[in-house]
Amino acid sequence: MNAGVLLAAGAVAFLLSTVTIVPLRRLALRWDLTDRPGGNKAHACPTPYLGGLAIAVATVVPTAAVIGLSDHRITAILLTATAVAMLGLIDDIGSLSMLIRLTVETAAAIGVVLSGVRITMTDSWLDGLVTVAWIVVMTNSFNLLDNMDGALGAVTTVTATLLAVTAFVYAQPVLGLLLSMLAYSGLGFLLHNWPPARIFMGDSGSLFIGFVLTCSAILLVMGTRLDTTVAGLLLPTFVATVDTGVVFLSRMLAGRSPLAGGTDHVSHRLRRIGLGPQMVATALGLITAIAGALCLAMALRWIPPLPTAIVTVGSALVLIGLLQGVDVYSPAQRQKALPRIRERLR
């Protein structure tokens, strides 16, 4: 792909994201589409949604303008990701049930699988089921990661950038273009979302981002060995995977619903140990950069895939365990959870 075309498309994506956020913010304030503080919320004043709409538009429009319908798999990802973004937008405007959300997300994931994007582990119909499940789980994991100013914006920009380079290394320029546009869009959004945030991406952005990044990672590891597949799927989603693991384990031990909102995510735990909002976003970005660099190094064959996969899985498990030691629950919540924890440990 011509470097000039890539840079021009990237400039369009960055400007679209940066500029369209301004009227979208005004629109959100006028229609009272805001996230109000209180409860489990970390922000102090009402903050408008709709930033994710700018990310989706700024990613899809330049990509579609350059590639058209030349790659049916990328076209399928663009169409289904747009549908997921619209699902998130509707949820931002008026809350949807979990059943409706999961149904639409599953349908979108099936659409991607039918286009030929799938995790190749068994060369059987099980691959399709595993792919759909992975896409749905990770899409929602990225959605849950959007819980603090700048956190998901930083993770998105870094992940998309390094995955784009990896795609070009794997001679997949069309996928590299899509990921580059997401990186530029994420950077444009981050200018408005860096702490203290002036706008949030909402579900329209977090679901779109999770869906695109997960599908892109799958496309990069298709047809590779099991160790390459495991490392190639976990490294780009490392922060989201660890965050989901931390929340799931701590809530199961505390007898709380894994699906409920809470201030027990990785970002909240980093705040508990003394990091400010900007440092939290920076820390998550750095962890993402390390994971993405390992993925790129594996693609360049600088490091072997099997040890990389083992280290990745081991690191995730260690972090999930260590972060359980950061106390995020109130004394009343801890007291209520103790009998349940003892019961589970018997």
Annotated binding site for Mg(2+): 143, 203
Contacts of 88 (CB under 8 A, 6+ apart): 52, 143, 202, 203, 204, 205, 206, 207, 208
3-state class (DSSP) for residue 34 = strand
How buried is residue 70: exposed, middle or buried, by Cβ count under 10 Å (0-12/13-18/19+)? Answer: exposed
Secondary structure element (H or E) that encloses residue 35, with its range? strand 34-35
Instruction: Give strand pairing partners of 48.
Output: 34
d(CA 232, CA 163): 10
d(CA 182, CA 164): 9
Secondary structure element (H or E) that encloses residue 47, with its range? strand 47-48
d(CA 198, CA 187): 15
Looking only at the bridges linking them, the beta strands covering 34-35 and 47-48 are antiparallel
d(CA 184, CA 171): 21
Contacts of 106 (CB under 8 A, 6+ apart): 132, 136
Q: Nearest 5°: phi and psi at 342? A: -60, -40
Cβ–Cβ under 8 Å, residues 296 and 222: no
Which amino acids are annotated as binding site, given as ranges? Answer: 143, 203
Type of residue at 309: A
d(CA 326, CA 329): 9
